[in-house]
Chain A
Amino acid sequence: MSPRLDVKHIEQKVYREIEQDGLTELYLGIFYPFYASVCLMLYNYLGLSIRPSSKISLFIVFIPIFIFSYKFIRERFTYPRIGYVEKKIIIPPSFLYAVVFPIAFFPLLAAIALLIWRTAGFLHAILQWTPAFFGILLVFWFQDMVKKSGIKMYYLLALISVLSGLIISLFKFPNSMLGIAIYWYIMSGVFLLYGLIKLVRFIYKYPRPVKEGESVNE
């Protein structure tokens, strides 16, 4: 063992160990299309073509279900294989970048634009460049993930995020929210693919749960 105990290295190793099942990525991959659907519903709402309140409330109901099922799967699938570990309860900046900001951004943007200009035209112009904004926003999250896990692969995901956000923003869609929805669908696909790869590797590495008293040292 090195005489200089590198706690940062241990922290990264523990983080990689906990997150190696790919569940976080898979859940984000599932969550983002839901969010994209809400974006589209919100657009329709601004266009006053439908009344989405019940659908949006359905989306809000899904959030606790996501959280509960995430914990449930970890308890029954992940922990029996690698051991139980509770992370320190600190709301990570990555959660703000990946979940809270995107959720909070639209109602806020819509409200401000409508209050100031009282026209949907300017709002549409902003919305066109929103995928680029999200693409850059997610870079902070990926950067945070590299810092926490030491996995450089997140830089590649950051690059995909920025490029897809910028490219989508260059197109003018008839429905301003469609660009945003496409961006989230692309990122969802990226997360699902990466999560699936991690999950397959995890199952290959830990094919079955550890029985009581069994040696685990490879």
Chain B
Amino acid sequence: MNDPGNEALQSVVDIDRIIHEPARLLILAYLSVVDKSDYLFLMRQTGLTQGNLSSHISKLEQAGYIKVEKEFQDKKPRTLLSLTQSGKQAFQQYRDKMQQILDSLPT
């Protein structure tokens, strides 16, 4: 009979590595509670620098987890970020899987 604890630990391998990176996880967590936000808001909340944030945003965009839109507000460009449907699903699956793993670990 398989040990359920071992099975759960095996599923660590299946964890979404795009999301598992702490900075990207934080970005997704913030975007999951809002509809849209810009770079400035995310920079303030996550504590990431603009360059660092840009690089993580690119990776998340490539994975199809977030949508990047550009618009003008008072003739100034504004980049808006939001979670895509697949991003929402991936984030929820990640949370469920992590919860499952943590619950199965011996205390």
Q: Which residues of A contact B (CB under 8 A)?
A: 1, 3-5, 7, 10-11, 13-14, 17, 75-76, 79, 82-89, 210, 213, 215-217
Q: A4-B99, A5-B98 are in contact. Are A83 and B43 (CB under 8 A)?
A: yes
Q: A7-B29, A10-B29 are in contact. Are A86 and B36 (CB under 8 A)?
A: yes
B30 — which chain A residues lie within 8 A by C-beta?
A: 10, 14
> B33's contact among A1, A14, A213, A216, by CB below 8 Å, is which?
A14
CB–CB B41/A87 < 8 A: no
Q: A4-B102, A217-B47 are in contact. Are A83 and B42 (CB under 8 A)?
A: yes
Chain B 31-44 interface 0/1 with A at a Cβ cutoff of 8 Å (1 = within)? 01111111111111
CB–CB A3/B102 < 8 A: yes
B42 — which chain A residues lie within 8 A by C-beta?
A: 83
A10 — which chain B residues lie within 8 A by C-beta?
A: 29-30, 32-33
CB–CB A85/B41 < 8 A: yes
Q: Which residues of B contact A (CB under 8 A)?
A: 22, 25-26, 29-30, 32-45, 47-50, 73-74, 78, 80, 95, 98-99, 102
A11 — which chain B residues lie within 8 A by C-beta?
A: 33
A75 — which chain B residues lie within 8 A by C-beta?
A: 73-74
> A1's contact among B26, B38, B43, B73, by CB below 8 Å, is which?
B26
CB–CB A83/B38 < 8 A: yes
Q: List 6 A-B contacts (CB under 8 A).
A: A4-B102, A82-B40, A83-B40, A86-B35, A88-B35, A215-B49
**Distance in angstroms between the alpha carbons of A39 and B64 in the assembled complex:** 53
CB–CB A5/B40 < 8 A: no
B36 — which chain A residues lie within 8 A by C-beta?
A: 84-86
